[in-house]
Amino acid sequence: MSKELIRLHDLCMAFDDELVLDHLNLYIKDSEFLTLLGPSGCGKTTTLRIIGGFATPTSGDVTFDGVRINDVPPHKRQINTVFQKYALFPHLDVFENIAFGLRIAKVSEKEIKERVMEMLSVVSLKGFEHRRVDQLSGGQQQRVAIARALINQPKVLLLDEPLGALDLRLRKDMQNELKSIQQQTGITFIYVTHDQEEALTMSDTVVVMDKGRIQQVGTPEDIYNEPKNAFVADFIGESNILNGIMHQDYVVEFFNRKFKCLDKGFASMEPVDVVIRPEDIEIVPADKGRLVGTVTSVTFKGVHYDTIVDFKGYKWLIQTTDYHEVGEVIGIILNPDDIHIMKKSEYSGLFGDYSSYSAEYDEINDPDFAEEDEEDAEDEN
């Protein structure tokens, strides 16, 4: 569980002078479930293609088990891929699609039959072996694609937004299934997605990427609780991000008030970004609050209400189970562990303001699966 399996060393990738990967360094441990998470065009798919051998980095090295594999062609790597839109062979039935890798490896007919049947039961597709692949639903095609890759017993499985084309319900089921397949087989999964919830649910390690650079690497809890900069704080979950000044260790000032926090190690009076998660904020009557604001909008979300509160012209998102009507003046209390301090970065000031609430929230929740190859997506529709 701890041995290093793949290392990406100083990877750069440029297409027509446009830098897609910018000095990327990452190592991937054996048997872990690692997710590359980021918005469209952040370089996550390119990273996956480099690991799979379908793209050669402009500079930098890829090592597998300590051996440099930059020039090893895909068919000689112990790595298999579940492609974005499955890429099942349309001229072969389900059985032959799954058996493809074994036939190439010249496995005996008897063993092929046994292993394909076993694989079909792993992905719950028994009885479908002689179906044509274009007669299958999206979820079934997905399972065939996974079976086709797993049957070769690869060291690493690459998954490129495999659940992007499925509906929400099916996506949740497949998330659980993928996670349990990964745990049973012990195969290293490298998973690419733009869906932060998917990443948090399934991964051992999450790598947040943007503009061809790694923004943060960590466990889902680390990434959520201790985001490194405004981009990560905003991309993973919802965040109110404010300008603050660190007075000394454990004391931060924003809105001209000093608050206790749990962060230290900043220079005295250093400007910082302050992250407050919407669900951590406690609403109290106005006279008991440390800050007082006016409710400007309320949206029912099922589990909670999204309440937008105006503090001196700066709008916060607060998630609460209690209903507060528009126009109500409320107070809030912040505990020291609700406040997270980040160093200023190029992303400071770009995220975390809910003044244009609806637009931004929609954008975050809207999964644009289109990704790098938007034309493909359009073809399918």
Partner 1 sequence: MKTKTPAIPYVVWMAIFVVIPLFLIVVFAFTNFDGHFTLENFSNIDVFLQVFGNSLWLAFIATVICLLIAYPFAYLLAQEGPVFRKIAMLFIMLPMWMNFLLRTYAWMSILENNGFLNQFLGLLGIGPVHLINTDAAVVLGMVYNFLPFMILPIFSVIEKLDNRYIEAAQDLGANRRETFRRVVFPLSLPGVLSGVMMVFIPSISTFAISKLLGGGMSFLLGDLIEMQFLGSAYNPHLGSAISLMMLLLVVIAMLIMNRFGEGEEGAVIM
Q: Specify the residue, 97 or 307, whose C-beta has the smaller distance to partner 1.
A: 97
Residues sharing a CB contact under 8 Å with residue 381, sequence separation 6 or more, in sequence order: none
Element containing residue 357 per DSSP (H, E): helix 357-365
Please report, as residue ranges, which positions from 279 to 298 form the binding site for partner 1 (by CB under 8 A).
none
Please report, as residue ranges, which positions from 13 to 32 form the binding site for partner 1 (by CB under 8 A).
none
Q: Specify the residue, 148 or 228, whose C-beta has the smaller distance to partner 1.
A: 148
Q: What does the block give as tokens for 177?
A: 């299934």
Q: How far is the CB of 105 from partner 1 (least distance, A)?
A: 6
Q: How far is the CB of 177 from partner 1 (least distance, A)?
A: 21
Q: Specify the residue, 40 or 78, whose C-beta has the smaller distance to partner 1.
A: 78
Q: How far is the CB of 146 from partner 1 (least distance, A)?
A: 13
CA-based nearest residue to 190, from 365, 35, 52, 362: 35
Reduced DSSP (H G I as helix, E B as strand, rest coil) percent helix, strand, coil of the chain, to 5: 30, 35, 35
Q: Specify the residue, 83 or 361, whose C-beta has the smaller distance to partner 1.
A: 83
Q: Specify the residue, 188 or 240, whose C-beta has the smaller distance to partner 1.
A: 188
Site string for partner 1, 353-372 (x = CB under 8 A): --------------------
Q: How far is the CB of 103 from partner 1 (least distance, A)?
A: 8
Q: Specify the residue, 86 or 347, whose C-beta has the smaller distance to partner 1.
A: 86
Q: Specify the residue, 90 or 327, whose C-beta has the smaller distance to partner 1.
A: 90
Residue at 70: amino acid letter: N
* 240-248 and 270-276 beta bridge pairing: antiparallel
Helix residue ranges, H only, 105-229: 109-122, 138-150, 168-185, 196-202, 220-225
**Residue 152 found at the interface with partner 1 (CB under 8 A):** yes
Site string for partner 1, 207-246 (x = CB under 8 A): ----------------------------------------
CA-based nearest residue to 228, from 316, 345, 334: 345
Q: How far is the CB of 85 from partner 1 (least distance, A)?
A: 7
Q: Specify the residue, 115 or 277, whose C-beta has the smaller distance to partner 1.
A: 115
Q: What is the C-alpha separation between 226 and 231, in angstroms, rounded? A: 12
Site string for partner 1, 69-98 (x = CB under 8 A): ----xxx---xxx-x-x-xxxxx-------
282-285, strands of its sheet edge to edge? 282-285, 329-333, 291-300, 305-311, 314-320
Element containing residue 245 per DSSP (H, E): strand 240-248
Q: How far is the CB of 130 from partner 1 (least distance, A)?
A: 12
Full DSSP string of 305-350? EEEEEEETTEEEEEEESS---TT-EEEEE--GGGEEEEE--TTTTT
Please report, as residue ranges, which positions from 30 to 69 form the binding site for partner 1 (by CB under 8 A).
52-54
Q: Specify the residue, 88 or 308, whose C-beta has the smaller distance to partner 1.
A: 88
Q: What does the block give as tokens for 172?
A: 């949740």
Query: What number of chain residues touch partner 1 (CB under 8 A)?
Result: 25
Q: What is the C-alpha separation between 248 and 245, in angstroms, rounded? A: 9
Q: How far is the CB of 83 from partner 1 (least distance, A)?
A: 6
**Residue 164 found at the interface with partner 1 (CB under 8 A):** no
Q: Specify the residue, 153 or 355, whose C-beta has the smaller distance to partner 1.
A: 153
Q: What does the block give as tokens for 335?
A: 């505990």
Q: How far is the CB of 88 from partner 1 (least distance, A)?
A: 8
Q: Which CA distances in Å does 241 have to 16, 71, 254? A: 36, 44, 11
SS3 203: coil
Q: How far is the CB of 143 from partner 1 (least distance, A)?
A: 16
Please report, as residue ranges, which positions from 101 to 140 form the binding site for partner 1 (by CB under 8 A).
101, 103-105, 132
Length of the chain: 381
Q: How far is the CB of 163 from partner 1 (least distance, A)?
A: 17
Positions touching partner 1 (CB under 8 A) are 52-54, 73-75, 79-81, 83, 85, 87-91, 100-101, 103-105, 132, 148-149, 152
